[in-house]
Amino acid sequence: MAANPRASRTTGPRRVASGPPAPGGETRGRRGSALRVRAGRLREPRTLAVAVSAWLLAALFLAPYLEMVVTALRPAGELRDRGYLPDRLEWSNLVDVWRESTLADNLQVSLVVAGGATVLVLLVSLPAAYYTARVRYRGRKLFLLLVLVTQMFQPTALLVGLYREFHQLEMLNSVWTLVLCNAAFNLAFAVWILTAYIASIPAELEEAAMVDGTGRLGAMARVTLPLALPGVVTAVIFTFITSWNEFVMGLTLSTEPAKQPLTVGINNFIGNYTVQWNYLFAASVVAIVPVIILFAFIERHVVSGLTAGSVK
Amino acid sequence: MASERPVSTRAPSQPDDRRDGPGRPGRRVPGGRPGGRPGRIRRGGGPGRLGPLPWIGPAVLLILVVVVWPIVELVRTSFLEISVAGFIRGSAGTEKYRKLFDEPQFGQVLVWTVVWTVVVVGVTVVLSLGLAQLFNQRFPGRRVTRWALIAPWAASVLMTAIGFRWMLDQTAGVLNTLMVDLGLIDAPRDWLGSPGTAWPWMMFVAVFVSLPFTTYTLLAGLQTIPADLYEAARIDGAGARQVYRRVTLPLLRPALLVSLVINLINVFNSFPIIWAMTQGGPGSETATTTVFMFQLKSTDIAESAAMSVINFAMVVVLVLVFLRVSRWNRES
């Protein structure tokens, strides 16, 4: 069946894995020892070639973002300069941009939307994931299928419907609408990854805690939740980043400039007669850099969450 | 346990039951889950007492309001006559669909949507196969270089697209400067000004932002292939290319298929790249169906809804393919 959280078992915490060992981790280790002989020896021409091309590619992937940083720090007078690097760096751009436009409002909207969506996703997905992982209830498969299908639908496909719905509810231009929508489209990822994590934690651990006199909720809070923490952290960071980066819904469901998220605010910059690219990228850098760093923490778990229910 | 409690006649998984469940669980009769079939509850006690509703209800409600309702609204709108201000003027029958099909750009938009999706996904998957192979090797700095690969994935697609728009700027774009310095072009060009050059650049950006996820999925797939298999193949005298064709590729199939379908859905829906770089212009010459839908939204929202319904139908087909592939992956 498509909707089986065990399929994404690889995501489970290995230290408490009750079933067969997670395939990814296990084979990775074996593979590692088999290849250890030629690990990390730059003197060998093959490794050198691999390392050089990998480093070059890495630089290539970072280059556009470095150019954005450089542009963000260019003095206004040097924007139209054809030189690769400006003569001096204007650090005040990073501060001034927030005074020159509605971007400060947009930043606030983005923070509320991403933060609110993250909290809502956790509140809604934790109980659902806990129950789904622990109990074989009627409609369980249906629920998991619904979640899986939701993950496949993107806001873009439903945009006009979303607009019409919230137009009729008179909820356009509201941060809460954006919170609700972002939460809904990130729910699937959170439910999948949390179900997989909780399922990999033996229920006996909870039962032991309950024998020791803790209630069911206490056992959940003191035993299950801490063990599922990597999953919770992944869900939190992923939801925050996706909502932070979201653009289409912000563009459609908010029409007043001050009530749009930062992505839309930055895009509006281009609509202006003269684009102040240095300010535009100063805002972008503030929006992008923290997110890339956060993402690096959860990188390992994201793939299994996104492809959940589909790969063995 | 549940079997001792009064058996409820209400089936918890029926849609009309969901509405009152999550909001006020206190009103529900205890023992809401049918207790007639022992063994259903794997581990008894607490979570089963009120049935699944208090636990999964809020999640289902959220999906109903934000995903299911808009789908209904979308289809309904496409059959209505709606004023620019948003007031319903009555039914339009299938007129909006006819109007959409009669748009002079419609055929061209459809063709470009297919070309866009196929080219971007195809190039992405082929390049990712190479990248995954490369980053699966062991070399000094593998961790750091893999992190660098994340950047386009974590950063907002919109901002990456805006970044490229700036780098392609005719007077100040660094890519123009670079290409002139390298002798690739004689003079800076307005790459995004004409469809002939705008399409390839937008496809480049789309591939650029799709590569990380695809590569990571394939990397995860590569890591599930046991090393013994490679050794066995090598002992049997297989060359590197043969090992790749006979061992790696077949075992990579599940990861490959999944990344393929997920990319198809993402790229088909990818709106921000085109919107940030050309807004679909000039006219609708660089628009895919999602961009065209957005362009129509400002003139006739019902026609835009008709476009969305067609879009949505295509996404549904892709999702069905995904579910099929998932099942196929698990069974084989």
The partner residue sitting opposite A160, judged by closest CB among B65, B223, B297, is B297
- Res A62: pLDDT: 93
Q: What is the dihedral of CA B252, B255, B256, B258, to 10 degrees?
A: 160
Which residues in A lie closer than 8 A to residue B259 (C-beta atoms)?
307
A187 in B contact zone (CB under 8 Å) = yes
Q: With beta carbons under 8 A apart, name residues in chain B contacting A24.
A: 220, 223-224
CA atoms of B305 and B313, how far apart (whole Å): 12
Q: Which residues of chain B have pLDDT under 50?
A: 1-45, 48
Nearest residue to A160 via CA among B172, B204, B311: B311
B276 sits in which H/E element: helix B272-277
Separation CA B197–CA B195 (nearest Å): 5
Q: What is the pLDDT of residue B71?
A: 93
CA dihedral B98, B100, B101, B107 (to 10 degrees): 180
Work out the minimum CA distance from B196 to partner chain A, whole angstroms.
22
- Write out pLDDT tens, residues A126-178: 999 999 998 888 889 999 888 888 888 889 889 999 999 999 899 999 999 99
Which residues of B fall within a CB distance of 8 Å from A136?
40-42
CA distance B29 to B12: 12
- Show the low-confidence residues of chain A (pLDDT under 50): 1-38, 311-312
Q: Which amino acid is at A245?
A: N
How many C-beta atoms surround the C-beta of residue A148 within 10 A?
Answer: 21
B323 touches chain A (CB under 8 A): yes
B185 has a chain A CB within 8 A of its CB = no
Beta-bridge partners for B88: B82
B244/A contact by beta carbon, under 8 A: no
Distance CA B157, CA B205 (A): 9
A85 part of contact set with chain B, CB < 8 Å: no
**Residue A81 structure tokens:** 């300069």
Closest by Cβ to A54, choosing from B43, B139, B259: B139
Contact call for A138 and B34, based on CB within 8 A: yes
Probe site for chain A from B162, B256, B279 (most A CB atoms < 10 A): B162
Give the chain B residue whose CA is nearest to the CA of A70: B174
pLDDT confidence of residue B220: 87
Tell me how close the Cα of B89 comes to any Cα of chain A, in angstroms: 14
Q: For position A308, what pLDDT does the model report?
A: 65
- Does A165 touch chain B if contact means CB atoms closer than 8 Å? yes
Residues B226-262, buried b or exposed e (16+ Cβ, 10 A)?
bbeebeebeeeebeeeebbeebbeebbebbbbbbbbb
Smallest Cβ–Cβ distance between B71 and the set A7, A84, A161 belongs to A161
Tell me, what's the pLDDT at B315? 87
pLDDT of residue A310: 56
In this prediction, residue B211 carries a pLDDT of 95
Residue bearing tokens 């000039």: B282
A211 near B CB under 8 A: no
How many interchain CB pairs under 8 A, A with B? Answer: 353
CB contact under 8 A, A146 and B157: no
